[in-house]
């Protein structure tokens, strides 16, 4: 996009600083060319703001008051204004240059004082030749962005986060765009944008770490040192300059501070952490019934079956295809009796049909996006001509929330929001399509990146209102903060080894970006999976917070029994392992409510001083205690594994290993290398086909020699009673002298475990629990 030269100078147009004043805890700075402001949110979080478009933040990511009104003071320096918090020094110079230091005066992050060094502009003739040959035209980066911040590179930066971007873990020397995009082509490292816009990244340097959240919903751009090695930058086509500098002593602190700002994933229903089976498309009730029965017959645990668009009447949302799926709700209730929960897909596109109640209601109440001329905007998606609910309007969100009652009344347990970038079949929605931003008129350019976010919010609120249980919502498109409302998957991947390899750094960076409840389509959505690829993918899926097999029409079906006995055995093994580890996974979600740390983590999150972890793409941590190093290469039967410092135990062999080194692990097709940190206590469930089938009275604790403390959480796994104290918390403490003590930290849930089985050094012992405490001498 070419920009008017009058606005391309960005913040440099502000000129010399003339003065400042402090009002209501905010430092307002006056410059020759306008105003800027600095707001101290917490000791570690500082907002930098220039009201180019609007004097208000209008954040969609941040809900509620986040300013803690902490102490700070302001002092004049030689050529700067210094704002001092308990942990940061912020120095503001002419042209609204803003540098950040720690309290000891060590530089953390500084604005770049020079000009951008653009590459040679691309000639129109060259673009014509590329297009004629079927190539995409490269982006001409010969101008600044309308809103832009350029930061100096100190030389040792690594960059993480930015949501669901393709490629490797460390984003240094790459550039990306934030523009929610449904691209059906096979995703490669060259993709600038996918389905989600999370304009947050973490910068790790040798002696410091910090995050930056650029809260701007317009199309935005992030160049992490690709253009030149001397700087990195972020900018947007329009909107305000509105970014948050987020400090911390280490990477976990930065993630905690970012999720304090944008919100944390709530505790999910326990069933949703089980295994999910899906396909576009299961085209009839008979087909779904057969799939469900086969899973039970083959002793493969499963909780959830997903209904894709074929269950609807002509792809009309909030309707039922009675011809192929029978009486509305009958199949759902039949499956429920066998332990299955149903999740139904919902797209935002509403079919243009005067006889269709959802369309009529929306037209009557003026709930759909408009053209600039005032007509309802029409594009095409699955039902044909379709219109788009204006989710930026609170009344529309309430209307959409109330529509969830239709599904709840059928017995549906979750809603899967798709096509909500928003996607369309007749080209992208024009930038000037009229939407609403709460109480004011806006446009598609401003609301595009938050469309899926607002749809997810409406869905969450509707399920909470009518189902009363913790809402289970899945979304493809989202913005920063959507983790408060929904789980996410990485979209339409394909059955490619490259996509399996990419899944690890992609999910790790999503986790660092606040998106905790995430997964990929196991086996790949498009193309044709092989038995080997499916076997390796289920080993990654086993540890992904959202564990769903999903594939597309026209591709090989991916039910595991279709690939031979060996594949079936491997698939069963890792789904059974998932159910065994469910209490550990649930505990991680309990913790993420409190600290925002992800379930699936890059090693660098906990070992940021270890240079070997900074670019480690092929392994991850499942929580802090379990290290997983999946095989992601076709034909490989060995895995080069890096173990960080400390003592580790091979999960399968219980071999004791010293960390801080690489090792080669034998990994035939049925083995996914796993390691457990010394001193870990891992709770295990007994075998089950689905959550709720077995009443767990005896919890197994898998204990590894060392020293450590673990908190296990227990509640009913469904509703919000835990918020009123209806939960149990057990503290498990392991000492070096091989003593394990279990005691109740909190007792508010009636179903207290009656027994604990302790697995230690290959031996199992069962102990009765009196409801208060238990001490076991393990040696």
> At which residue do the structure tokens 């809603």 appear?
415
Q: Which residues contact 156 (CB under 8 A, 6 or more apart)?
A: 205, 206
Pair 87, 27: CB distance under 8 Å: no
DSSP 10: G
Question: Which of 170, 178, 173 lies closest to 145 in space, CA to CA?
Answer: 178
**Is residue 613 within 8 Å of 603, Cβ to Cβ?**
yes
**Which candidate in 308, 313, 461, 492 is catalytic?**
492
Q: How many CB atoms lie within 10 A of CB 419?
A: 22
Q: How far apart (Å, rounded) are the C-alpha atoms in residues 348 and 609?
A: 45
Residue found under tokens 């999946």:
630
And the tokens for 265?
């994933």
Closest CA to 217 of 449, 466, 462: 449
| Separation between Cα atoms, residue 508 and residue 186, nearest integer Å | 20
The question of whether 156 is a catalytic residue gets the answer: no
Q: Which of 50, 49, 39 is nearest to 88 (CA)?
A: 39
What secondary structure does DSSP assign to 613-650, as a single string?
Answer: GTT--S-EEETTTEEE----STT--EEEEEE-SSEEEE
**Catalytic annotation on 21?**
no
d(CA 441, CA 372): 11
* C-beta separation of 691 from 588 below 8 A: no
CA distance 181 to 349: 16
Tokens of 579: 């159910």
Catalytic residue, candidates 421, 467, 559, 715 = 421
CB 115 within 8 A of CB 68: no
> What tokens appear for 622 in the block?
């499942």
Q: Which of 111, 418, 467, 718 is catalytic?
A: 418
Q: Does residue 335 contact residue 277 with C-beta atoms inside 8 Å?
A: no
Written as six digits, the tokens of 425 are: 């079949």
Check if 99 is active-site: no
Known catalytic residues?
418, 421, 492
């Amino acid at each position: 996009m070419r920009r008017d030269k009058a606005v391309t100078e960005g913040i440099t147009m502000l000129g010399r600083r003339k003065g400042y004043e402090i009002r209501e805890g905010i430092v307002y700075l006056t410059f020759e060319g306008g105003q800027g402001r600095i707001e101290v949110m917490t000791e570690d979080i500082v907002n930098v703001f220039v009201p180019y478009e609007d004097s208000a933040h209008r954040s969609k990511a941040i809900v509620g008051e986040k300013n803690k009104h902490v102490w700070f003071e302001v002092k004049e320096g030689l050529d700067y204004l210094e704002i001092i918090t308990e942990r940061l020094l912020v120095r503001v110079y002419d042209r609204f240059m803003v540098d950040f230091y720690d309290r000891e005066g060590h530089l953390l992050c500084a604005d770049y004082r020079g000009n951008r060094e653009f590459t040679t502009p691309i000639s129109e003739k060259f673009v014509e030749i590329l297009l004629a040959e079927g190539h995409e035209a490269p982006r001409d980066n010969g101008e600044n962005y309308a809103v832009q911040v350029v930061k100096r590179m100190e030389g040792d930066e690594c960059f993480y986060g930015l949501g669901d971007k393709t490629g490797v873990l460390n984003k240094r020397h790459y550039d990306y765009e934030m523009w929610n995009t449904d691209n059906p082509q096979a995703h490669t490292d060259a993709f600038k944008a996918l389905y989600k816009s999370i304009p947050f990244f973490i910068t790790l340097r040798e002696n410091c770490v910090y995050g930056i959240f650029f809260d701007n919903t317009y199309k935005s751009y992030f160049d992490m040192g690709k253009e030149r090695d001397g700087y990195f930058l972020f900018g947007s086509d329009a909107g305000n300059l509105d970014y948050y500098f987020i400090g911390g002593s280490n990477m976990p602190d930065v993630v905690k501070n970012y999720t304090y700002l944008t919100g944390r994933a709530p505790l999910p229903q326990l069933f949703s952490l089980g295994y999910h089976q899906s396909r576009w498309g299961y085209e009839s009730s008979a087909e779904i019934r057969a799939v469900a029965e086969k899973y039970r017959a083959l002793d493969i645990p499963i909780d959830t079956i997903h209904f894709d668009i074929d269950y609807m009447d002509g792809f009309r949302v909030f309707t039922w295809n009675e011809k192929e799926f029978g009486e509305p709700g009958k199949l759902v209730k039949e499956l429920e009796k066998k332990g299955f929960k149903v999740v139904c897909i919902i797209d935002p596109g509403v079919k243009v049909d005067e006889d269709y109640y959802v369309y009529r209601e929306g037209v009557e109440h003026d709930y759909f996006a408009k053209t600039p001329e005032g007509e309802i905007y029409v594009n095409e998606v699955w039902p044909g001509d379709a219109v788009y609910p204006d989710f930026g309007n609170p009344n529309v969100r309430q209307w959409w929330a109330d529509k969830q009652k239709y599904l709840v009344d059928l017995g549906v347990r979750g809603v899967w929001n798709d096509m909500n970038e928003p996607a369309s079949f007749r080209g992208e929605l024009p930038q000037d399509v009229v939407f609403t931003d709460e109480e004011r008129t806006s446009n598609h350019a401003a609301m595009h990146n938050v469309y899926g976010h607002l749809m997810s919010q409406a869905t969450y609120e509707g399920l909470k209102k009518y189902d009363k249980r913790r809402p289970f919502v899945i979304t493809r498109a989202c913005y920063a903060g959507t983790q408060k409302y929904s789980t996410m998957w990485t979209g339409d991947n394909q059955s490619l080894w490259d996509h399996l390899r990419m899944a690890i750094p992609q999910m790790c960076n999503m986790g660092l970006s606040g998106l905790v409840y995430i997964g990929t389509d196991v086996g790949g959505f498009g193309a044709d999976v092989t038995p080997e690829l499916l076997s390796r993918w289920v080993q990654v899926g086993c540890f992904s917070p959202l564990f769903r097999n999903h594939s597309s029409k026209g591709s090989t079906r991916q039910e595991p029994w279709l690939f031979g006995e060996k594949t079936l055995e491997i698939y069963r093994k890792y789904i059974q392992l998932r159910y065994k580890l469910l209490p550990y996974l649930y505990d991680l979600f309990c913790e993420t409510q409190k600290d925002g740390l992800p379930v699936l983590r890059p090693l660098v999150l906990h070992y940021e001083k270890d240079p070997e972890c900074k670019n480690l793409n092929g392994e991850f941590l499942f929580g802090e205690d379990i290290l997983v190093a999946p095989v992601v290469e076709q034909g490989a039967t060995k895995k080069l594994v890096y173990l960080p410092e400390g003592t580790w135990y091979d999960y399968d062999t219980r071999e004791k290993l010293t960390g801080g080194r690489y090792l080669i692990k034998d990994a035939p097709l049925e083995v996914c290398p796993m390691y457990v940190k010394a001193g870990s206590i891992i709770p295990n469930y007994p075998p089950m086909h689905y959550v709720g089938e077995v009443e767990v009275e005896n919890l197994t604790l898998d204990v590894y020699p060392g020293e450590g403390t673990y908190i296990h959480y227990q509640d009913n796994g469904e509703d919000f009673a835990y918020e009123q104290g209806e939960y149990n918390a057990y503290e498990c403490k392991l000492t070096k002298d091989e003593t394990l003590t279990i005691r109740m930290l909190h007792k508010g849930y009636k179903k207290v475990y009656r027994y604990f089985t302790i697995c230690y050094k290959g031996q199992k012992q069962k102990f009765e629990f009196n409801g208060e405490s238990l001490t076991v001498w393990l040696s």
